[in-house]
């Protein structure tokens, strides 16, 4: 019998402008492995309800469609993978509630993302605390073995694994233990205007110069890179680069696939201006086909709807079987 392929699950929130960090940290990994794994990729719109910043005039559903269109434009093959919207599949918030009854509060209150985000707000919605349980549900419903994400999500995936372990030891082997899959390059792209801070979707929309959108036009890309904060010197040294130049080199590396040695040969001793203009050329070349395909998929519309409807049905089918098992194990099923 053929061996079962590894299953991958991941998702992105429709809560701002998708940037090159989302591409190198998440999307690029999904596309590279899509024919060797059994992939399920979700637009996590219920998670996005926890962010209050009004980053766009668009409705959540329009932003969700845009994110799904971007998945396809980046090269996800809808015949090979499942693509769907989280809010269309009831099993996700349902399992999340069940997990709420099982997981100690302390496991949630020690999450770094909760601590940071709650410290930035006066009024903290409960959903900010239980966010990782909805994320664990996303993953555990589908028996995902691997979760391809950027570095910032490692703690949440490890929590999902701990939850699965705890549940299994109490109720039997119900869940597969997932593990994070963090890429070698581009798993943590920093802001171009502040290279010690992570590039973020909401800030990318609000402040020019912070991030580069995956579908930014060439002149916007050139403008942002020209203004990017560098180090205090004037010529590149790959080995001893400070945070600004290190970030530009990391982006170059993630998009070109070159090694540190190749980067050294290409850039050592060259001026910062050369690095910036070569990086601009590289990003414009790599992102142009994605941008064109994105606009085509959105304009065409009906194909995207078909993909999402088919994805919804398949996701419902797989995940409702898992919910039935969970309810049986809890002796709550008739």
Contacts with ligand TRP by CB under 6 A lie at: 9-11, 13, 44, 47, 135, 138-139, 147, 149, 153, 156
**In terms of C-beta density within 10 A (0-12 exposed, 13-18 middle, 19 or more buried), how is residue 259 classed?**
exposed
Q: Which of 28, 181, 201, 253 is catalytic?
A: 201
User: Any catalytic annotation for residue 201?
Assistant: yes
Which of the choices ligand AMP, ligand TRP, none does residue 136 contact, using the CB cut-off of 5 to 8 A by kind? none
d(CA 183, CA 26): 8
Among positive and negative, which fits the CA dihedral 43, 44, 49, 53? negative
Contact 219, 284 (CB under 8 A): no
Q: Which is nearer to ligand AMP, 152 or 313 (CB)?
A: 152
Q: Binding residues for ligand AMP, per CB under 6 A?
A: 12-13, 21-22, 24-26, 149-150, 152-153, 187-189, 198-199, 201
CB nearer to ligand AMP: give 186 or 311: 186
Min dist. Cβ of residue 244 to ligand AMP (A) = 15
102-108 contacts, C-beta under 8 A, 24 or more apart = 102/163, 102/166, 102/167, 102/170, 103/133, 103/163, 103/166, 107/159, 107/162, 107/163, 108/132, 108/133
Identify whether 58 is a catalytic site residue: no
17 belongs to the catalytic site: no
- The minimum distance between CB 224 and ligand AMP, in angstroms, equals 14
Per DSSP, 12 falls in state E
Tell me the closest approach of the beta carbon of residue 203 to ligand TRP, in angstroms. Answer: 14
User: Which CB, 144 or 287, lies closer to ligand TRP?
Assistant: 144
CA angle 136, 305, 44 (to 5 degrees): 20
Which partner from the list ligand TRP, ligand AMP, none does 139 bind, CB cut-off 5 to 8 Å by kind? Answer: ligand TRP
Catalytic residues: 117, 198, 201
């Amino acid at each position: 019998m053929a061996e079962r392929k590894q299953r991958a699950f991941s998702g992105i929130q429709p809560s701002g402008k998708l940037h090159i960090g989302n591409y190198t940290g998440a999307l690029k990994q999904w596309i590279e492995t899509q024919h060797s794994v059994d992939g399920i990729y979700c637009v996590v719109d219920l998670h996005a309800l926890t962010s209050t910043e009004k980053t766009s005039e668009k409705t959540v559903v329009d932003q969700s469609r845009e994110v799904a269109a971007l998945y396809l434009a980046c090269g996800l093959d809808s015949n090979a993978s499942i693509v769907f919207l989280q809010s269309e599949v009831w099993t996700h918030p349902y399992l999340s509630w069940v997990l709420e009854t099982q997981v100690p509060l302390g496991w949630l209150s020690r999450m770094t993302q909760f601590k940071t985000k709650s410290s930035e707000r006066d009024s903290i919605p409960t959903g900010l605390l239980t966010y990782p349980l909805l994320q664990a549900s996303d993953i555990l419903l589908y028996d995902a073995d691997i979760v391809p994400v950027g570095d910032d999500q490692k703690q949440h995936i490890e929590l999902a694994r701990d939850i699965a372990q705890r549940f299994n030891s109490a109720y039997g082997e119900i869940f597969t233990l997932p593990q994070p899959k963090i890429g070698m390059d581009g798993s943590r792209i920093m802001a171009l205007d502040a290279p010690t801070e992570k590039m973020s979707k909401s800030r990318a929309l609000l402040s020019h110069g912070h991030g580069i959108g995956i579908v930014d036009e060439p002149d916007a890309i050139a403008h942002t890179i020209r203004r990017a904060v560098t180090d205090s010197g004037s010529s590149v040294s790959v080995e001893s680069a400070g945070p600004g130049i290190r970030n530009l080199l990391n982006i170059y590396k993630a998009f070109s696939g070159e090694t540190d040695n190749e980067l050294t040969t290409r850039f050592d001793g060259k001026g910062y201006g050369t690095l910036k203009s070569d990086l601009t050329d590289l990003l414009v070349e790599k992102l142009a086909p994605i941008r064109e395909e994105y606009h085509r998929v959105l304009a065409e519309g009906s194909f995207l709807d078909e993909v999402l409807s088919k994805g919804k049905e398949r996701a419902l089918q797989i995940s409702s079987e898992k919910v039935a098992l969970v309810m049986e194990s809890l002796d709550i099923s008739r």
